[in-house]
Structure 1
């Protein structure tokens, strides 16, 4: 089966998108499908380039058994639109920026459409407290489980296989 490449994108690549990257990698690994996915994250802005994810994203990931401390923020590159099958933006502002960067790219989608089927934005928790990070963790987990179930081999149900990340 073809390997599916997914790039998660938020504004600075320190809160939502690195958390989504870590969650999807963990779910795919626990489902025995890690080799079926190429997963990365990037930001529409480059001001955090080279930095670790926000300490609150690291903390919420750690609380759910996921280590994202090795990730480093990066700015989206023009070749990302060619390299990845799906470029999943966390909110509509990110979608608009990505489409301005690559007007002809047909692989740019809102995470809320592609993964959650709700059309919702994943809100930026940067200026809030820990409850905002827990909220986005829950939404990202739900969407990432759906992505693995939809894009993974066998359409296998993941219930029970992701208990350590819930």
Structure 2
């Protein structure tokens, strides 16, 4: 039985697909790729079916990742049944996700991605949207995603054990 983690941003072409690619990479390195499945989506559906933003893909490729398989998807109520952990990139994404929660208990599935970032603080817990900026913004987001993902992967075995209880 797999533990399923979903990463969610606005359009599913920058932040969440970057996190998806990095998380899959880190799961392979940790030997957890056979126990954890990863998905990503956006709360807005206007990019559904599109590939990753070219700037996001370039930053990932430059760092040694393969961004080529991504196709944007839209977050729906079904994601609650299909995933164990839903990680929002910012508070607006989180609010949009919670608005679709079928029941109050399922709202606990939704957490902030940077909740796992060792450098995050109470007033700095969002992954900034690099869409309107230049390459530096995408590189900054990748660094944030990498350190957050490293911590998340270290905690996943415990989270999976808790989910089984």
TM-score of Structure 1 vs Structure 2, range by shorter chain: 0.7 to 0.9
Unaligned stretches of 5+ in structure 1? 154-166
What SS does the aligned partner of 1:76 have?
coil
Any idea what the Cα deviations from partners look like across 1:83-102, whole Å, max 9, x if unmatched?
A: 11110000011111111111
For residue 137 of structure 1, the aligned residue among 134, 137, 142 is 142
Unaligned stretches of 5+ in structure 2? 159-165
Q: Distance in 1 between matches of 2:126 and 2:2?
A: 27
Aligned length: 151
Question: CA offset at residue 40 of structure 1?
Answer: 0.6
TM-score by length of 2: 0.87
What SS does the aligned partner of 1:42 have?
strand
Q: How well do the aligned residues superpose, as a CA RMSD in angstroms?
A: 1.4
5 Å matches for 1:1-166? 3-102=2-101, 104=104, 105=106, 106-113=108-115, 115-116=116-117, 118=120, 119=122, 120-152=125-157
8 Å contact from structure 1 (residues 3, 37) kept in 2? yes
What SS does the aligned partner of 2:39 have?
strand
Could you list the structure 1 runs, at least 4 aligned residues long, displaced by more than 3 angstroms after superposition: none
